[in-house]
Amino acid sequence: MKKIKNFHLTILMIGTLLLLHACKDFDEVVITLQYCETIELNVGDTCILTDGTIGIVDQNCACEMLPIVYDCPSITTNIGDTCLINMSWPGTINENCECEPTYDCPNMTANVGDSCVLGFGWTGFVSTNCECELSFDCPNMSANIGDDCTTGYGWPGFVNSNCECLDYMYDCPSLGGNIGELCVTDIIQCGIIDVNCECGAIFHDCPDLLLDIGDSCYTPDTGEFGFVDEYCVCIPVDCPLLYGNIGDPCDLNGDIGTINTNCECI
């Protein structure tokens, strides 16, 4: 029995010595493979590349670039990176590796300056505070071009392109007149408002008088009533009420009469 115990003890001691020897050999091999004396680093340690970036020591004791690992390898991007939707709209890579739109105001899915609609149907714009605010063509009037307004005289009107309230009493509010009325052209000539609400120049036989031959007139010196002759001169008449001179023919109830010295048609 004692011999068996001694045998077992001997076997155990031999096994222990063999195990210790094997471990010693393993340590020597590991140290030899992992340690790089030239750079005094182990394989797998971090190192600095020539461009200043961090690398890793490979099995050849060389400092190599770290492998790039992406959150989304299929599109070589990371979550949170910027991206373009349809090559135009800016977006951000989400957790599903999808490019979703980026908004200044995510709660409104809109950007600052975008148009928006207020609760009561009015059109506004997205402010820098991410609120939908009213926008007007004429902020000082809180109105848009074409809106109804009330003039300073209390007349109903509309807002023109100059943000002025013009009344509706004119055919041509922009000219402040009606069709057929006199106006002043761009070159400061007397004109008349046409059906297109444009001030067209009036052409006369006598432009200086703004009259035509045969029109009634008053002489510039004496103020006498007369008519414009073919020489564009205002010639006074003896009998203004009859539009003629003594001895001129006149209308006598359908017949032809003559103006007498009393300015009567007889």
The whole-angstrom separation of Cα 77 and Cα 91 is 13
At residue 127, the pLDDT reads: 84
Give the residue-averaged pLDDT of 160-188: 79
**Is residue 115 situated within a structural domain?**
no
65-69, 175-179, 252-256, range with greatest mean pLDDT: 252-256
Tell me which residue range forms the domain holding 244.
216-258
How confident is residue 21, by pLDDT bands cut at 50, 70 and 90? low
Count of the separate structural domains present in the chain: 4
90-149, pLDDT tens digit by residue? 788 999 999 888 888 877 888 888 888 887 777 788 888 888 887 778 877 878 888 888
225 and 251 within one domain: yes
Query: Is residue 224 in a domain?
Result: yes
On whether residue 53 sits in a domain, the answer given is yes
Q: In this predicted structure, what is the pLDDT of residue 4?
A: 44
User: 245 and 231, same structural domain?
Assistant: yes
Chain segment 192-214, per-residue pLDDT in tens: 888 788 887 777 788 778 788 88
Nearest to 219 by CA among 239, 238, 234, 240: 234
Residue 21 lies in a domain: no
Tell me, yes or no, whether 154 lies in a domain.
Answer: no
220 and 247 belong to one structural domain: yes
| pLDDT the model gives residue 33 | 52
Chain centroid offset of residue 40 CA: 64
Report whether 108 contacts 115 (CB < 8 A): no
SS3 (DSSP) at 165: strand
Judge if 61 and 86 occupy the same domain. no
Same domain for 83 and 62: no
Res 258: pLDDT:
94
Is the separation of the CB atoms in 149 and 159 below 8 Å? Answer: yes
Decide if 121 is inside a domain: no
pLDDT band at 3 (very low <50, low <70, confident <90, very high): very low
The dihedral through the CA atoms of 28, 30, 31, 33 has a sign that is positive
CA distance 116 to 123: 6
Q: Using CA atoms, how far apart are residues 24 and 18, in angstroms rounded to an integer?
A: 10
The answer to the question of residue 151 being in a domain is no
Q: State yes or no: pLDDT of 5 exceeds 50.
A: no
Confidence of residue 259 (pLDDT cuts 50, 70, 90): very high
* 59 and 93 inside one domain: no
Out of 67, 84, 111, pick the residue that ends a domain.
Answer: 67
Note whether residue 132 is domain-resident.
no
Q: What is the pLDDT of residue 139?
A: 76
